[in-house]
Amino acid sequence: MPLHRLTHVTLAAPDPAAASDFYAEFGLIPTTSGRFATEDGGEQLRLVEGAHRRVLELGLGVESTDDLDQIGPRLAEHGFAAERDGDELRTHDPVTGMDLLITVAAPVTSAPRSAASANAPGAITRRNQRAEPIDRAESVRPRKLGHVVIGSTDHAATQRLFTDGLGFAISDEIPGIAAFLRCSTDHHNVLVQDAPTTYVHHTSWQVDDVDEIGRGARHMLDGDPNRHVWGLGRHYLGSNFFWYLRDPAGTFAEYYADLDVIDDPSGWTPRQMTDARALYAWGPPPPLEFVAPTDLETHS
């Protein structure tokens, strides 16, 4: 597919300053006012003032202008308007009011940190030394923006923009509710779900391993225990470890690690899930606010 990554997300928040403080503490790197970078993905979060939490713009990356030449006609073929300006292509979702900006962007490259050795029955790899993660002292720094989950009043129509118009692939599906959509080798980059109003459910940020998830969450909860939403757990669809926290606007921010990678679609079989595994494989039960956020009734 021509697309290969998420470049950035622009979120509306009633109090961008308070949200900025949260994401700086979360481990994102402030660049300019209301803008944040990740270790490997560059500037990937932008915060602007808005009455309700929602995605204003989602950025997608392609490798060349030739890719834009393919995407523009595809959008038109499926009834989606698009405007081209040099190495940028912009389209719009009329259901959610979200803009999508497709630009030429370098792929995200990540250098692995030194592998943490783990002991297991019959496989002792670490001898006479403590586990490396327990002595980590540096701040947790997310590597990249992994995915965004968007609530839509017509999830099927919004999803068609991504699949039919932009060429996202379906990795797994919760029939009639949502599908895990990818534009890269990651299991999913976007999920659109049914909602009574337009909003952003969560953004998800990759860290190195489950220890970084725990260290990041512990740091955030030491600052304010009310930030906790759900975790630690492991998703079934996508396989990733997770921990969700709440920003001041009510948007959930997820630390994740060990997500499924699909670099050969012929070797992957999508699944349709209707039981609890659609949400998680193990961990504490999801709180009600994760499934039905309580602040949505205040949206108009």
Q: What is the pLDDT of residues 136-152, one digit of tens each?
A: 999 999 999 999 999 99
> Has residue 198 been placed in a domain?
yes
> What's the pLDDT score for residue 295?
85
Q: What is the number of residues in the chain?
A: 300
48: pLDDT strictly greater than 60 = yes
pLDDT above 90 covers a percentage of the chain that reads 94
> Has residue 127 been placed in a domain?
no
> What's the pLDDT score for residue 72?
95
CATH code, 225: 3.10.180.10
Distances (CA, A) of 109 to 5, 27, 106, 149, 182: 11, 19, 9, 23, 18
> Has residue 117 been placed in a domain?
no
Q: What is the pLDDT of residues 33-42, one digit of tens each?
A: 999 999 999 9
Residue type, 274: T
DSSP string, 8-69: EEEEEES-HHHHHHHHHHHT-EE-STTEEEETTTEEEEEEEE-SS-EEEEEEEEESSHHHHH
Which whole number is the average pLDDT over 10-25? Answer: 98
User: What is the chain's alpha carbon radius of gyration, rounded to the nearest angstrom?
Assistant: 19
> Has residue 299 been placed in a domain?
no
Determine the structural domain holding residue 40 and report its residue range: 3-107+141-289
300: pLDDT strictly greater than 60 = no
Domain count, the chain: 1
pLDDT band at 243 (very low <50, low <70, confident <90, very high): very high
pLDDT band at 1 (very low <50, low <70, confident <90, very high): low
93: pLDDT strictly greater than 90 = yes
299: pLDDT strictly greater than 70 = no
pLDDT band at 7 (very low <50, low <70, confident <90, very high): very high
